[in-house]
Amino acid sequence: MDVDDIDFLDFEIYNINKEEYEKQFQMQKEYFEKEFEKRKQKELKDLTKKDVLTLGELLQISFPKKEWLIKDLIEKGSINLIGGDPASFKSFLTLFIAVNGCFKSKQTLLEQININPMKTLLLDEENRHKRIKERIKLILEGKKANFSDIDVNNIIIQADKGTKLASIDISNPNVVYTDKLLFAIEKHKPNLIIVDSLVRFMESDENSTIEARKIFDRLKFITNKYGCSWIILHHTRKGNGKNKINDVRGSGDFIAMVDNLFMINKSKDGFTLSLEKSRDGLKFEDLSFIVKETENGGLILDSCDSVKSNSNEKTKKEQLKEELLKWFRNKGEDMKPFSADSLAKTNFGEKYGRSTIYDSLKELKEEGFLVNENRKWIVVLSKNIKK
């Protein structure tokens, strides 16, 4: 019913102000609509607590949309495992992620990973505080960071404390105050927790299915309570390279339970981070990288386009060169001179980093497809490029 449905003779008889009545009427209507929506949402929320759901009940539930902690890499509330051989820079890669997250502004890693300010808890049973400090200093020096650029409270370190994940008594309502790991999480509220490495946080053999289940029960408990994401580092056994997933050491339950499994593989020129398994269909393009020393003695993580995780796969540079040649052909004689900077601001720049763009243009010049005059690239309209 609306206000217009009311006989307005009543307003005159009872000396009621029509505008005031309309205002009160609308307020009450909005109030009841909100209360109805709250009750509806509560009923839907209660559905998720039921032991058994019908299909009709399941279809009524509105689940939250996917949210990213690190876009296209780490989803909020996800459990991720990164496997790799010793000396494959697993620890350094996650330290680069943590350090970039302690900056007060958004940072870009490997040309395509955008990291917003976030708080990271580093659980490290392999490296002591001294080594962790030295590594973080090298990364900050590599970025030429000023102290004013970073929030020093955005990295929390708990190292060499003998923490065992499976021993957390999640049945105890006061466990937050008795367990040193949960106390740190409760106090600092990290967005990301890095575990380096999984085997050091286990009480028994890494092949134990029982302990694997206990550990992931604790991880899910912490994730549900605090909404944090996890990156768990784990070692691989020496395999034949045919099935990377089977090279992950320990119980197969580790692979089954994580949301995403990444692997770092060595190559002649560097390393490649690949997604080997995703429960929710994460789309992830292989990241090729190498750790380089800067002039001031710091360290940077640089993309390495020559790295291939598979000999049949094309590097980013090769892909970009093909796309540029196709663009040249489509433009034909309408193709105007352009700069590398202007190209980086187009769709090409959204997909490829500046160093990849510059290197691709240089190679196309060497191959006779481009010339460079006054910092402008000019397409050579040869028979190889014309439509």
Given the structure tokens 């090298």, which residue do they identify? Answer: 138
Model confidence over 77-125: pLDDT tens digits? 999 999 998 889 999 999 999 999 999 999 999 888 999 999 999 999 9
* CATH assignment, 68-303: 3.40.50.300
What is the dihedral sign for C-alpha 135, 140, 141, 147?
negative
Distances (CA, A) of 252 to 191, 206, 278: 27, 10, 15
Vertex 91 angle, CA 71 and 284, to 5°? 30
Q: Give the integer Cα–Cα distance in Å for 204 and 208.
A: 7
**How confident is residue 244, by pLDDT bands cut at 50, 70 and 90?**
low
Beta bridge partners of 277: 261
Beta strands in 28-187 (DSSP E): 68-70, 74-75, 79-84, 107-109, 113-115, 120-124, 155-159
* CATH assignment, 316-379: 1.10.10
Which of 260-264, 271-275, 327-331 is predicted with the least confidence, judged by mean pLDDT?
327-331
**How confident is residue 381, by pLDDT bands cut at 50, 70 and 90?**
low
- Return the pLDDT at 110: 86
Q: Count how many residues are written for the chain.
A: 387
Yes or no: say if 81 and 260 are a contact pair by the CB < 8 Å rule: yes
Yes or no: say if 118 and 73 are a contact pair by the CB < 8 Å rule: no
Domain ranges of the chain: 3-47+52-60, 68-303, 316-379
- Return the pLDDT at 351: 78
Q: Give the integer Cα–Cα distance in Å for 67 and 248.
A: 28
Model confidence over 6-57: pLDDT tens digits? 454 455 555 556 677 778 778 888 887 887 777 766 766 677 777 888 898 8
| Residue 111, C-beta contacts closer than 8 angstroms, at least 6 positions apart | 303, 352, 353, 354, 355, 356
